[in-house]
Structure 1
Amino acid sequence: MDRLIRGARWVFAFGAGLSMALVFIIIFVNSLRRYAVGRSVPWGEELPIYLTIYGVMFGLALAYLGDNHIRFTVVSDMLPKRVRHWFFVAADAVGVATGIALAYAGHVFALRRGDVASSGLKSTADALAQSTGIEALTWLGKVGPYQYAIAFGGALLAIAAALKLMQRLSGRAEEV
């Protein structure tokens, strides 16, 4: 169980860190290019926004799994330790349900509006598809892959909450 949670923390932290590193690199290169050449790359404005959203979703799961998320403790601090434990168990179960609902809602949203062209990425995705011959790459020029960040974040929340729930039920979680 501890190995699974450590692995999940590593994946969540790596995903959040990688997303933020890519955002920094893209913005840095785009800024240098804008001032050195006079033009920025067409996807340099929009892609960092989407990468940031994915990074936040990874960070959300990492924070939940580590019990480092924002929480209002006015009620829970007044509860006896045993009752507080079951209160947090119930909150984790609600977290699993919320993550599943968010994943489903994000999926439905992406299906309904996923074919809308992403103005900053469309031309690059079309050129990539044309140069590789892989027609499926044109989907990167749509907003669908980036709207799936909501579904992805919901799935990560459900996983983190389920792991935290199992940890609490096994008695291995520290009650904050």
Structure 2
Amino acid sequence: MQRVEIAFMRLLAGLSGISILVVFGVVFAGSVSRYLFSAPLQWSEEVAKYAMIYGCMFGVAYAYLQGKQITFSIVIDTVPEKFRRKISLLVDVATLVLGGILAYAGLIFAGKRGGIVASGIGIQMYWAQIAITVGGICLVIAAILRIISFFKAVPTGGEA
């Protein structure tokens, strides 16, 4: 199972990296075109924006899998060690549920407003808005992997 988690983390890291590469490449090309040739690329701002959204969605799941998400550590640090694992499991279950809600909400959003055509690049907004669903699915998969890891690493002292 650890191999699956590592492979998924690499996929998320790669997709995040590609998204950032697209953002930098498009912004650079747009800047060169605008300031060197006085001919702005009309589509560059929208492509960069959508690539950034996808990159954030992949990055959120990647950070969560690494345990580097934003936490209220002041609460966790005040709890006895035996309860920290239970709180961690509770956070993973909440992430699973909220990731599912996010994926579903993204589908509804893209379904209702996805037919609008983006003015700069001429594609339906569905392809940008479905990023919410993609991010939710990535969080669900990440939460499932963390929950499986939690139960595989149950301490021998009988506490869970």
The two structures have a TM-score, normalised by structure 2, of: 0.92
Residue pairs, 1:132-151, within 5 angstroms? 141-151=123-133
2:146 corresponds, among 135, 145, 164, to 164
Shift in Å at residue 74 of structure 1?
Answer: 2.3
Aligned residue for 2:118? 118
- CA RMSD between the two structures: 1.1
Residue type at the aligned position of 2:142 = A
C-alpha deviations, 1:53-98, integer Å up to 9, x for none?
Answer: 0000110000000000110022221222221101111110110010
Aligned residue for 2:158? none
C-alpha deviations, 1:111-159, integer Å up to 9, x for none?
Answer: 000011111111xxxxxxxxxxxxxxxxxx1111101111111111111
Work out whether residues 61 and 157 of structure 1, in 8 Å CA contact, stay in contact via their aligned partners in 2.
yes
Count of residues in correspondence between the two structures: 154
Shift in Å at residue 42 of structure 1?
Answer: 2.1
Work out whether residues 89 and 169 of structure 1, in 8 Å CA contact, stay in contact via their aligned partners in 2.
no
Q: Structure 1: where are the runs of 5+ without partners?
A: 123-140
Q: Structure 2: where are the runs of 5+ without partners?
A: 155-160
Identical columns (%): 35
Moved over 3 A (4+): none
Aligned residue for 1:75? 75
Kindly indicate whether residue 14 of structure 2 is the aligned counterpart of residue 11 of structure 1. Answer: no
SS in 2 for 1:69: coil
Shift in Å at residue 169 of structure 1?
Answer: 1.6
Aligned residue for 1:100? 100
- Aligned-partner Cα distance in 1 for 2:120–2:153: 49
Aligned residue for 1:33? 33
- Aligned-partner Cα distance in 2 for 1:22–1:74: 37
- Aligned-partner Cα distance in 1 for 2:153–2:78: 21
Aligned residue for 1:125? none
Aligned residue for 1:128? none
- Aligned-partner Cα distance in 2 for 1:93–1:35: 50
Q: Which moved more, 1:52-61 or 1:26-35?
A: 26-35
